[in-house]
Every structure is written in C-alpha cells, then in structure tokens.
C-alpha cells in the first residue's frame, strides 16, 4: 500500500509542466470514460430484456446528478480523444518531438474549442429541461 | 524490422530480455490502442455529438432505441442494420481499448502481484460481461412484448 501512496505522491509532485498534466488527465479521463461506458452499455442492453426497465433507466439519465456527470463525460471524452491523437501522431513521427510544446498547446486549444460549446449546449438543454415550462 | 534487430543486437541483451511471447503481446496491444483509438475518435465523437448535442439526453425515449435497433423477433431494415453494426463495432473496440488502458494504469499503481491479479481478473470479467450483454442486445433488438399491457393502462 505504501508503494501505491508513494507512486501517487510522485505522480502529483513531479513537475513536468503541461505535458505531465496532460499525461495525468489522460489517465483520469480514460478511467472515467471507461466507468461510464460499462454502466452505459449494461444500462442500454436492458432493452433486450424489457422495454419497461429500459424506459426507467433512460428516465434516470434525465436527473440532475446524471446531467452534471454528463458534462464531465463530455469533457473527458473530448480530451481523451484529442490528447490521444496528439500522442499517436508524436509517436508515429519522432521528428515532431522538437515541436512538443506546440503540439501540447495546440491540443489544449482544440479541446477547449470542442468542449466549451458542447458543454454549453448540454448545460442549456439541461437547464431548460429542469427549469423550463413543465409539459 | 531488421534495423531493430541489428540495433538490439549491439545492446547488452543479457541484462533483462523480455519473454518473447509477452513482447509480441505488448506490440500487438500497443498497435491496437492506436488503431482502435483512431476508429473511436470518429465513432465515439460522432455518437456523442449526435445523441448528446443534436438529440439531447432529455429528449431520449425507448422509442428512439426501437427506431435504431428494431424490435426483437422482427426483420430489420437497412438503417437498423447500420446502427447495430455501428454500435457493435464501437462497443467492442471501446471496451477492449478501456480494458488495455486499465491494465496499463493498474500495472503502474498496483505493485502487489496478488492485488494486481485480483483487480484485473475482476475488471476483465466485468468488462467482458458488459460487452457480451451489449452485443446480445444489438443482435436480439428491443423486447417490447410486455409493452402492450403498459400502453393499455
């Protein structure tokens, strides 16, 4: 257990600037998306058992805790996709390693450009659903 | 390939050679992560964009699932076949991509071999069960046999 603690402490205290934080966020977002994926696939597969259970689970997605989790999911998925692309391209073309910092900043910009409108649209839809006119 | 072998031959290979079988597995896993990642970049983002941004979770009903998957026991249309294949490929690739990613993270943080093996065994079973359930649902379609009574209420 102490080995786990020291590994995590070293992970957090290592000062590798942006690249290090992207590496850490890649792991956290990957684990988060995987957790959601398992729950989501098991939940959706309920449709072949009974449509009533499926309906009830879909209604659960429309509750505030899920709406907030969905925002984290949106960011995690977009970040993991774009950062993973950066990693794959850099590994494929080692000559680009000299421009690592540019690649890092570029992927941060692309993530922000995709995640910000996505999360905004989702948040507006959720606010409309929770606080808009009841129907 | 020959370049890799010749450079490796110049190194002190007696120090700690990887077992050949494991080495081949790690190479395959490394390549799989890149290829499945590339496929998921399009599959997962298009799925997320369609269901969460264009449709929106709050608009989601089981009717949509029937439209895309079709009903159990009925023949399916071409568009339903497309959706079943789309979700089938995505769910299998995403689960295996996640399982291998989890393996790498667990390898870094769980140093006790017993803890690592137990954790990975449980995670592998969970992920395989979820994958099989998802694929079965896509093969069978939506079971609405109990829905007639529900609508009659």
B128 vs A6 pLDDT, higher one:
B128
* Level-2 CATH architecture, domain B13-152: Up-down Bundle (1.20)
* CATH number of the domain within which A107 lies: 1.20.1300.10
Closest CA to B70 of B80, B56, B61: B80
Q: B interface mutation test: which of A48, A71, A134 has the most B CBs within 10 A?
A: A48
Please check the confidence at residue A4 and state whether its pLDDT lies above 80: no
Q: Rounded to an integer, what distance in angstroms lies between the CA atom of residue B30 and that of residue B42?
A: 19
Q: B interface mutation test: which of A45, A116, A135 has the most B CBs within 10 A?
A: A45
Interchain CB contact of A68 with B (< 8 Å):
no
Those residues whose C-beta lies under 8 Å from the C-beta of residue B107, and which sit 6 or more positions away, are B116
Confidence of residue A3 (pLDDT cuts 50, 70, 90): confident
pTM for the whole structure:
0.84
Q: What is the predicted pLDDT for the residue at B148?
A: 54
Which residues are bridge partners to B117 per DSSP? none
Q: What is the predicted pLDDT for the residue at B146?
A: 65
State the complex-level ipTM.
Answer: 0.88
Q: What is the predicted pLDDT for the residue at A17?
A: 73
Q: Note whether residue A102 is domain-resident.
A: yes
A71 vs A1 pLDDT, higher one:
A71
* Number of structural domains in chain A: 1
Mean pLDDT, consecutive 10-residue stretches, chain B (153 aa), reads 41 48 81 94 95 88 88 89 96 98 94 95 98 95 71 49
Q: Note whether residue A5 is domain-resident.
A: no
Question: Using CB atoms and an 8 Å cut-off, which of residues 83-122 of chain A contact chain B?
Answer: 84-85, 88, 91-92, 118, 121-122
Q: What is the predicted pLDDT for the residue at A95?
A: 86
Torsion B107-A81-B78-B73 (CA) sign = positive
Q: What is the predicted pLDDT for the residue at A115?
A: 96
Q: What is the predicted pLDDT for the residue at A35?
A: 97
Q: Note whether residue A89 is domain-resident.
A: yes
Q: Which two tokens stand for residue A8?
A: 């995590």
Domain extent, residue A114, equals: 17-131
Q: Rounded to an integer, what distance in angstroms lies between the CA atom of residue B131 and that of residue A90?
A: 31
Q: Note whether residue A11 is domain-resident.
A: no
Q: Rounded to an integer, what distance in angstroms lies between the CA atom of residue A89 and that of residue B9?
A: 28
* B41–A84 C-beta distance less than 8 A: yes
Q: What is the predicted pLDDT for the residue at B10?
A: 43
Q: What is the predicted pLDDT for the residue at A1?
A: 60
Q: Note whether residue A111 is domain-resident.
A: yes
Mean pLDDT for the stretch of residues A101-128 = 94
* A37–B133 C-beta distance less than 8 A: no
pLDDT in tens, A44-87: 999 999 899 999 999 999 999 999 999 999 999 999 999 999 99
Please check the confidence at residue A5 and state whether its pLDDT lies above 90: no
The number of beta carbons lying within 10 Å of the beta carbon of residue B95 is 22
Q: Note whether residue A8 is domain-resident.
A: no
| Helices vs. strands in chain B: H and E counts, helices first | 6, 0
């Amino acid at each position: 257990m102490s080995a786990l603690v020291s590994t995590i402490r070293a992970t957090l205290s290592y000062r590798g600037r942006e690249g290090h934080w992207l590496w850490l966020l890649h792991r956290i977002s990957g684990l988060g998306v995987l957790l959601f994926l398992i729950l989501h696939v098991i939940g959706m597969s309920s449709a072949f058992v009974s449509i009533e259970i499926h309906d009830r689970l879909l209604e659960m997605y429309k509750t505030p805790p899920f709406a907030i989790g969905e925002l984290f999911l949106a960011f995690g998925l977009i970040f993991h996709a774009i950062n993973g692309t950066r990693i794959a391209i850099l590994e494929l073309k080692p000559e680009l390693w000299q421009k690592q910092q540019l690649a890092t900043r570029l992927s941060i910009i692309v993530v922000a450009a995709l995640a910000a409108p996505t999360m905004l649209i989702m948040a507006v839809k959720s606010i409309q659903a929770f606080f808009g006119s009841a129907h | 390939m020959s370049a890799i072998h010749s450079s490796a031959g110049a190194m002190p290979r007696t120090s700690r050679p990887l077992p050949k079988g494991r080495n081949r597995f790690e190479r395959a896993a490394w390549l799989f992560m890149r290829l499945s990642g590339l496929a998921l970049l399009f599959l997962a983002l298009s799925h997320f964009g369609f269901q969460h941004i264009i449709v929106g979770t709050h608009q989601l009903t089981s009717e949509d699932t029937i439209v895309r998957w079709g009903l159990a026991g009925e023949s399916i249309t071409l568009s339903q076949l497309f959706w079943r294949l789309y979700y089938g490929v995505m769910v299998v690739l995403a689960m295996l991509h996640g399982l291998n990613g989890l393996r790498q993270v667990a390898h870094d943080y769980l140093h006790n071999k017993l803890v690592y093996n137990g954790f990975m065994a449980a995670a592998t079973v969970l992920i395989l069960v979820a994958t099989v359930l998802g694929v079965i649902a896509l093969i069978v379609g939506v079971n609405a046999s109990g829905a007639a009574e529900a609508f009659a209420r």
